[in-house]
Structure 1
């Protein structure tokens, strides 16, 4: 893996089918953390967006991703079934949640982080999500799957009070109702099929809260190289966002 932290304000991760960048965006420092790693016959991808004062958010996001990476690397075997992979992914989330809570003392009290993870094994993809970072599966120019945010505005959308379009501009769009390290801790898991030509996109809200779905799709549909997709999306996001921006793309080219 080519994982180059130029400094904590920019992290670059690369594998042969995947590429990711985490950038401080228009903040003074970066509380996001990302992972792109090939482990035997799988790809492990992750985006975390830390929360908490006194820079505790960056501690939480890094702790979550490193715990995830170490646990999956240690426990994964090529003969595991998809269901068994899902189980160890859920175990990794629970372990990371406990570690963050155990370390949330002093000026790190209350720290937490979102965590969205995808494990790609052949033509299957296991996704886990806690918080409002996202994973998308894009096929033939359309989003066919997307994780559901654990956020206040998502509750409003689900209840029919606002539309998904309205959610992007809602003044309380940054309020999350679940995160690793917080008392409310929910993990949703998904199982998606991957076909040739599909694009898997993971992002922190610094991208999807500021760049319209149509603009994201336009970029994904214009390039086949994961690096090009990430760099173009980052360029667009940096002109709009008020937050850190993290983007990871896996591309299964035909």
Structure 2
């Protein structure tokens, strides 16, 4: 069983006058490892905040990693719960959410991802992004239709191509990285999950001092201060974990 060293998390609305569409799962023990997650409700439709809570509550109640590793089943069952929500209230017919979750144990790291939250891992004094955004922006860049520079400032970055939704085809990414391929320092492994309202500010300046980078709690505090100093552009959520792998 890996040893949990340090964890931190926050989730705030863009401003106090609106609901927070994000929901988070702080690291929780599951079998022989730890599970963490961030969900971002699609805010352009009613019920996004409820949909993200449904996704996180589902993960909170999972009792085995075997269940968790069946990404298709997990997303399908969350979708079914969102559909049930719309049957009770027709105003929630378009309710949808993104979801990114990770499970880490001594065997390695399992990541499942749909939408535009991101998973990063610490590699030296930098963070390495493991997930790819499911957005129109990323799709156009991958297809080499336009350059990132050309698309900067356009709405393409905020347009999702998939999500957990009754009305959109779900196309999730799921992958496993063996323990031997994970970047560790003295067996310590750091992982971070951020909603788009948070990683927007990380990408603008992807660095902190070495001391801050080496502490999950210091990273969390500094990152939160950065976002609030620069003024949030969306709800912003973050979950971080440092773990000792054997």
Aligned residue among 26, 30, 33 for 1:39: 30
Give, in whole Å, the separation in 2 of the partners of 1:58 and 1:157: 29
Corresponding residue number in structure 2 for 1:25 = 14
Corresponding residue number in structure 1 for 2:156 = 172
Report if aligned partners of 2:125, 2:213 keep a CA contact under 8 Å in 1: no
Report if aligned partners of 1:220, 1:229 keep a CA contact under 8 Å in 2: no
Q: Name which structure has the greater RCO, CA cutoff 8 Å, separation 6+.
A: 2
RMSD between aligned residues: 2.6
Per the normalisation by structure 2, the TM-score is 0.82
Give, in whole Å, the separation in 1 of the partners of 2:112 and 2:209: 25
Report if aligned partners of 2:45, 2:95 keep a CA contact under 8 Å in 1: no
Report if aligned partners of 2:46, 2:94 keep a CA contact under 8 Å in 1: no
Corresponding residue number in structure 2 for 1:152 = 136
Corresponding residue number in structure 2 for 1:213 = 203
**Which structure has the bigger radius of gyration?**
2
Greater alpha carbon shift after TM alignment, 116-125 vs 231-240: 231-240
Corresponding residue number in structure 2 for 1:244 = 235
Greater alpha carbon shift after TM alignment, 183-192 vs 15-24: 15-24
The Cα of 1:51 is off from its aligned counterpart by 1.4
Give, in whole Å, the separation in 2 of the partners of 1:129 and 1:55: 23
Per the normalisation by structure 1, the TM-score is 0.80
Aligned residue among 59, 77, 100 for 1:116: 100
Aligned residue among 79, 82, 86 for 1:100: 82
Q: Which runs of 5+ in 1 are unaligned?
A: 1-14
SS at match of 2:154: coil
The Cα of 1:118 is off from its aligned counterpart by 0.4
Count of aligned pairs between the two proteins: 230
Q: Which runs of 5+ in 2 are unaligned?
A: none
Give, in whole Å, the separation in 2 of the partners of 1:221 and 1:161: 41
